Amino acid sequence: MGEAKIESTQKGILGWVERTGNRLPDPVFIFFYLIGILMVVSILMAFFGVTANHPVQVNADGSPLVIKSQSLLSADNIQKLWVQMPKTFTHFHPLGYVLVVMLGAGVAERSGFFAAGMRAAVRSTPVFLLTPVVALVAMLGNHAADAGYVVLIPLAGILFAAAGRHPLAGIAAAFAGVSGGFSANLLPGQLDALLFGITEEAVSISGLDPSWTMNIAGNWYFIAVMTILYLPLIWFVTDKVIEPRLGKWSPGGEKSDGELAAQFEGKDTELSASEKKGLKLAGLAALGIVGLWLVMTFGPGTPLINEEACAPGTIEAGTCSVQKTLSPFYTSLVGGFMALFLACGWVYGKVSGTIKNKQDLVDMMTGAMKDMGYYLVLSFAAAHFVAMFGWSNLGLISAVHGADAIQSTGLPLPIVLGLIIIFSATLNLFIGSASAKWALSAPILVPMLMLLGFSPEASTAAYRVGDSATNIITPLMVYFPLILIFAKRWQKDFGLGSLTALMIPYSVWMLLSGTALMIIWVILGVPLGPDSPVGYTLPGQ
């Protein structure tokens, strides 16, 4: 499908957002420009002697260790830039995590497993449950990357039309689930690997807690509850706000179109016998992978358990840690999801005929890596921005002074997280890439919130709420023009402003409910995931 050039017809604040955002350069160049600005700022901060007391480390005599601003044009930092360039790039934490998961997810997507699974989930749904099923499959389908947008959203329009309901309501519900509920899911996936990789990098360069490592399941409980929260919300907004506003659907002359007529008859949603068999066997493959991980966790030798973390004597000494005991298991989940997606995609592809030989499998994995080409370029720029932020010490200095400033205001800390959600949601209107925004803000936000008593998992969760809520109302979101094309298929005069107006109720309610959930979660102190508390205490305190 060719790209459509869509002229801006927006006015007011949304028109300003669109025009401003369209003038911004590609995120890759944003990072390079910011590196230039960072160099200038580091020179000025070093010249004026800007410092901060390290919150954890002290000198040999017990006096506070002073963090000094470092010029990025110092001899040492220039040497680091050029000598460590390969290491800076390849050791960028999210890079390896995402590439590993995508090796499996690419096969699951290209074999048709994700698309068939979504079609199977929604095609036989009763009319009165059509909205919640579409919304749920859409939120679960964000693991499927492009398939969620390219397959489910147009399919939802077809299913709603076939049921006598307005197809634009189906498109809206699916778009709200896939994109507005981008961070909501019942299981962690590649997004968790991506964001927590950046979080780990931010913690690492701050030096606040060298022992902290990424747990891909660090937001598991939170995103699962987000799914449960967003499901009735999307259902209500679609059926009680959006569809009544659209009015009764009348296909009129559209049904004379041969393609649409075939879809109304269900031909596009019907699964073949081989696809049904492939899905069943892929389900068994998934159970096999889960069983394998259970054996490696609880079976003989327990390779995914660090038994020494709670060896005899550690309990009495107070050094026994459940998190350290399960650390190998949590870290292994990156490879686990790769194996899960790979097994399901391979089995489905072999049975359905999309994978005929081993070379097809290799080609699909290769294709997945080709699709990550832009991400590699973005990661190169982001890795150097984050690393240079650390070399200049400006990230930690900003975090220390930022935490002091927040404490001096007397604002309740849950409200602070709520404000960070609003900040993320606003930033998302101008920069579409989730990884780019988090790489920009994490070096300051993560250590600052650690100093305020919030875990890195909590800062990541807060960012995710804001990041996903406004995806569906910014024309700068990469799939926005594609969704508009899907909508125009059913209503020829449907424009950019129409799509934005259609999605605003979802965005507002998701932002309000997600923020409220985060605040309540912090007040209750419920873990965000396995061994992932909301609160945090600096080592030695």
pLDDT tens for 230-262 read 999 999 999 999 999 888 877 654 443 434 434
56 φ, ψ to 5°?
A: -120, -50
User: Can you name the residues that pair with 535 across neighbouring β-strands?
Assistant: 454
- pLDDT, position 323: 66
> What's the average model confidence in pLDDT over 192-204?
92
For residue 397, what are the contacts with CB-CB under 8 A and spacing of at least 6?
Answer: 45, 50, 51, 52, 67, 69
- Please give the C-alpha separations between residue 170 and each of 73, 127, 130, 226, 499, in angstroms, as whole numbers: 55, 12, 9, 21, 13
Task: Name the DSSP class of 161.
Answer: H
Predicted confidence band of residue 266 (pLDDT cuts 50, 70, 90): very low
The string over 154-182, giving b where at least 16 C-beta atoms fall within 10 Å of a residue's C-beta and e elsewhere, is bbbbbbbbbbebbbbbbbbbbbbbbbbbb
- pLDDT, position 253: 42
Q: Is the pLDDT of residue 316 over 60?
A: no
Give pLDDT tens digits for 390-416: 899 998 899 999 999 988 888 898 899
> What's the average model confidence in pLDDT over 306-328?
67
- Please give the C-alpha separations between residue 17 and each of 21, 382, 420, 430, in angstroms, as whole numbers: 6, 24, 20, 7
**What is the rounded CA–CA span in Å between residue 495 and residue 100?**
39
**What is the rounded CA–CA span in Å between residue 119 and residue 141?**
11
**What is the rounded CA–CA span in Å between residue 384 and residue 388?**
6
Global pTM value = 0.82
Average pLDDT, the chain: 85
For residue 163, what are the contacts with CB-CB under 8 A and spacing of at least 6?
Answer: 127, 130
Determine what percent of the chain is predicted with pLDDT higher than 70.
88
Of residues 447, 446, 385, the one with CA closest to residue 54: 447
Q: Residue 273 is encoded by which pair of tokens? A: 């016998």
